[in-house]
Structure 1
């Protein structure tokens, strides 16, 4: 990847993080805007927008750090575990999904209904599965599991600060840009670098 391509990749991810965070804030952080709507206070509304824009840039950087860390871990895992690396990835996916439900529920001060935790994990898995299917179709079938691993495990690790906070608003405010940035990165990188996981079935035949 050339410097020019990397800068475009990096800046696009920053933009995605900023825009999705601002849009999400309209739905989950309405209190940051409503006091300034009547009477209309442009100065304070602009300040709120810049506040969430800043958080969006931070989330994007976290996402990109996680992505490039994952690329390193993936290469290490393939070299160290060999054939068993795919089994390790499946195991880690299951552990993370279990953690998103059981440990968050048992450690919460006011856990409420466990089904809300199950729903969060299920939605993350469904979305990640859809992204991984697109990745596999767009590059190579072997890219499915690594993409699923990245979207579930790495996103969850990046999400930890908001999960520890426990506030619904901050949980949603962080996960939406993380998923958006991670989706962009995992579906775009192979197009930029021209990388393919391996020969296609047609080429084998």
Structure 2
């Protein structure tokens, strides 16, 4: 974690981090388990998963391996019910690179949209477990928030979580620092006990 960079979002006044490298589309194309969040909507949910699958690029000028569109499937359960709920949408690359995305819902959620960004990503040493930190801009329905993702359903090691929190708390953006302080653990059946 020592060389991991957590950057401020582009909508921040702090400005971009010159050392930050974006994850590739193949690296990001996984089913991720949301382990921690500052978004109130996940406080009453469990087993929150987000699956990113590359879609054909929006034009022939975009190489297929770095597609500028992702299928975005969110699934979750309430804390007291076994029924699995889903939210389907499409992410379109926003800005340069593939670190900023504009989400638009599918079906009756087509009127809903949001902007999200990758703030950090990496792999836990010795485990092969990948992690991502995402930030969501404020919408009409939700406040701005931060999520931690883990590829492994077991979640992230406590030292990884603590290191990411420390790096978020050091970002030169008051909003991100506040979100880092508001983080809570999202329940995952079968996850490591902290």
Bigger helix fraction: 1
Bigger relative CO (Cα 8 Å, ≥ 6 apart)? 1
Q: TM-score, with normalisation over the residues of structure 1?
A: 0.22
Q: TM-score, with normalisation over the residues of structure 2?
A: 0.23
Larger radius of gyration: 1
